[in-house]
């Protein structure tokens, strides 16, 4: 039976899988030790749980367990990667390359570094949201120390050619950082195949708990070194001091284990639901546009613009459907999405965009409800739009 409201905002966050919660529960009240306490069983049990989770996370991305550094989430991981590398390698160079459609958790640290004297090149994307790897190669110079390109975009779901970018970075002996927050657990990511040196991820985008993330830091070929963001007890190879959140870390590990075993089957099912949603909306309504590459995108992402409709008005009329107009981190901003602008989409159309994020717990019944529910809302708004009436005529 359909339960309202229906949640289709899985790029903002995901529901914690009950199996993840079950794995976490013992570490709140029974095994509550500090993993840094090395002189009693409570600490040993906590440390064992943390190291098991570290291994589960590493396996999902083709890394070694010792290369996983726990953080509070994706924003901290991105800041540690960018600022940590910039500080450590400043004597080698001061040039960083990134892309216009990156998340603010990458763009804003780059702006901070720019204010501190670093040179930052922000590269454009094409109409489909893809960056040209050759453009990256052409932008690298003798002062370049780091390239940061996300694996999959949080608004339009576009999957970047990270393996090709990684190869270019290796050829030029430049570090490659990848914000893989939206991609890990949804599509295969292998740091060795893609030549990634630093990779950011977070648990709550993959059916794990909020408040815990990780940064992959390559240890061989090359041995990547970072300057820590803050100092303390020297936890996490000296890169991230602070008592580890054991229950969250255990949940993160379990979430990665589930993704590794279920990703292929789950991805196919979610992709089928997304295509059904897109087809249904396209048949139900005219003047709708898909934003981003039609095939090189996350299985659960559908970002569409509804012509002759105000996006905010549409969102406020969808009380029984949880969707968004873009990144959850910028949802209070009335300006058109900077990601859609980077694709060359006009402001008026960009303002009418809706991001549907389908996930593990969505059903076909919910998709069919969304098609009719959104369709009816668009019809109501267009009925009072003079511009739509003119376009029809």
Q: Which residues pair with 122 in a beta bridge?
A: 98
Q: At what angle do helices 246-284 and 364-383 cross, to 10 degrees?
A: 60
DSSP run (H or E) holding 178: strand 175-179
Phi and psi torsions of 389, nearest 5°: -65, -40
d(CA 3, CA 363): 11
**What letters, b where the CB count within 10 A reaches 16 and e where it falls short, cover 368-389?**
ebbbebbbebbeebbeeeeebe
- Would you mind telling me the total number of residues written for the chain in this entry? 393
Q: Is 169 a catalytic residue?
A: no
What sign has the CA pseudo-torsion 346, 338, 270, 312?
negative
Q: Which residues pair with 120 in a beta bridge?
A: 96
d(CA 252, CA 209): 7
Catalytic residue among 29, 135, 259, 329: 329
Catalytic machinery residues: 329
């Amino acid at each position: 039976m359909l339960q309202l409201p229906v949640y289709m905002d899985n790029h903002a966050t995901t529901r914690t899988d009950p199996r993840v919660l079950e794995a976490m529960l013992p570490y709140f009240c029974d095994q509550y030790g500090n993993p840094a306490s090395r002189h009693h069983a409570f600490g040993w049990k906590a440390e064992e749980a943390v190291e098991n989770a570290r291994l589960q996370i590493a396996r999902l991305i083709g890394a070694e367990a010792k290369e996983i550094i726990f953080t509070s989430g994706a924003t901290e991981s991105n800041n540690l990667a960018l600022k940590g590398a910039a500080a450590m390698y400043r004597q080698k160079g001061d040039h960083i390359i990134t892309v216009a459609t990156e998340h603010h958790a990458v763009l804003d640290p780059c702006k901070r570094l720019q204010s501190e004297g670093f040179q930052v090149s922000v590269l454009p994307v094409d109409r489909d949201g893809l960056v040209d790897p050759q453009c990256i190669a052409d932008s690298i110079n003798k002062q370049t120390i780091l390239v940061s390109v996300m694996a999959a975009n949080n608004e339009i779901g576009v999957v970047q050619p990270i393996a090709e970018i990684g190869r270019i970075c290796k050829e030029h002996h430049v570090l490659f950082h990848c914000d893989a927050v939206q991609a890990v657990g949804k599509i295969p990511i292998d740091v060795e195949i893609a030549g990634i040196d630093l990779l950011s991820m977070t648990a709550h985008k993959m059916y794990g708990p909020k408040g815990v993330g990780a940064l992959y830091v390559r240890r061989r070929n090359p041995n990547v070194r970072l300057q820590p963001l803050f100092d303390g007890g020297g936890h996490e190879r000296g890169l991230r001091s602070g008592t580890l959140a054991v229950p969250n870390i255990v949940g993160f590990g379990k979430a990665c284990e589930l993704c590794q075993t279920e990703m292929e089957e789950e991805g196919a099912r979610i992709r089928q639901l997304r295509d059904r949603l897109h087809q249904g909306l396209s048949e139900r309504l005219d003047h709708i546009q898909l934003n981003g590459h039609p095939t090189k995108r996350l299985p659960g992402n559908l970002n569409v613009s509804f012509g002759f409709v105000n996006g905010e008005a549409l969102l406020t009329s969808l009380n029984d459907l949880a969707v968004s107009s873009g990144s959850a981190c910028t949802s209070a901003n009335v300006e058109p999405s900077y990601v859609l602008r980077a694709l060359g989409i006009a402001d008026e159309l960009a303002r009418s965009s809706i991001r549907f994020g389908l996930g593990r717990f969505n059903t076909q019944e919910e998709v069919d409800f969304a098609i009719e529910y959104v369709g009816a809302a668009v019809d109501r708004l267009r009925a009072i739009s003079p511009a739509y009436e003119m376009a029809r005529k």
